Amino acid sequence: MEKLIKIFASSQKQFINLTRIAIFIVMAWIGGLKAFQYEADGIVPFVANSPVMSFFYDKEAPEYNEYKNPEGKTVQKNIDWHKENNTYIFSYGLGTVIVMIGILTLLGIWYAKIGFIGGVLTFGMSLVTLSFLLTTPEVYVPNLGGDFPTPQFGFPYLSGAGRLVIKDIIMLGAGLICASDSAKQLLNKR
């Protein structure tokens, strides 16, 4: 056990670089998916309800509820609505930004200043994503009724969308760790 503790204690730098790689993989994958219709459709409730981001769309929330495409299904009238709403154009831009943040964070392995910027941007992006817990109704289980009253609904019962969002708390911490490590390297170079 003592040997294992020593290995872990002396591996912090490698683990921070692994964190940078993990951030890059998540950002490249999720950002890359923003180029596809199903992913662009899926982020509409988050963006449309966000006071920080809703101006990117032409339509008001909750109008989008009438034009939801379930993942894997394509309905032309819904796609037409999303085109009018700027759903796809916004998603392409957002995906590009997310991939760029991932690249900046990954480059922190070799370039401390760039890695610092990537870590700070990862933290900032995570704050925006976590704000959806306050602004997006779909992040909590709805009371849909049924044969008997829904026993668990609303806050704190996270829906699938809410469980997806809450995981950004890990990205928030990871971004700060990467930024902190890069800042330490920058200070040590002085």
- The reply to whether 25 falls in a domain is yes
Place of tokens 């170079």: 189
Phi, psi dihedrals of residue 68, rounded to the nearest 5°: -80, 135
CA distances, 99 to each of 15, 27, 45, 138, 145 (Å)? 21, 5, 21, 25, 41
The amino acid that residue 165 corresponds to is V
- The reply to whether 5 falls in a domain is no
Q: Residue 141 corresponds to which tokens in the numbers above?
A: 């289980």
- The reply to whether 3 falls in a domain is no
pLDDT of residue 41: 93
Instruction: Name the pTM for this structure.
Output: 0.92
pLDDT in tens, 122-145: 999 999 999 999 999 999 999 888
- The reply to whether 82 falls in a domain is yes
Q: How far is CA 111 from the centre of its chain?
A: 24
Question: Residue 158: beta bridge partners?
Answer: 140
Judge contact between 78 and 67, C-beta under 8 A: yes
How wide is the angle at C-alpha 104 spanned by C-alphas 166 and 190, nearest 5°?
115
- The reply to whether 7 falls in a domain is no
Specify the number of domains making up the chain.
Answer: 1
Share of the chain above pLDDT 90, in %: 88
pLDDT of residue 60: 85
- The reply to whether 162 falls in a domain is yes
* Structural domain of 130: 13-188
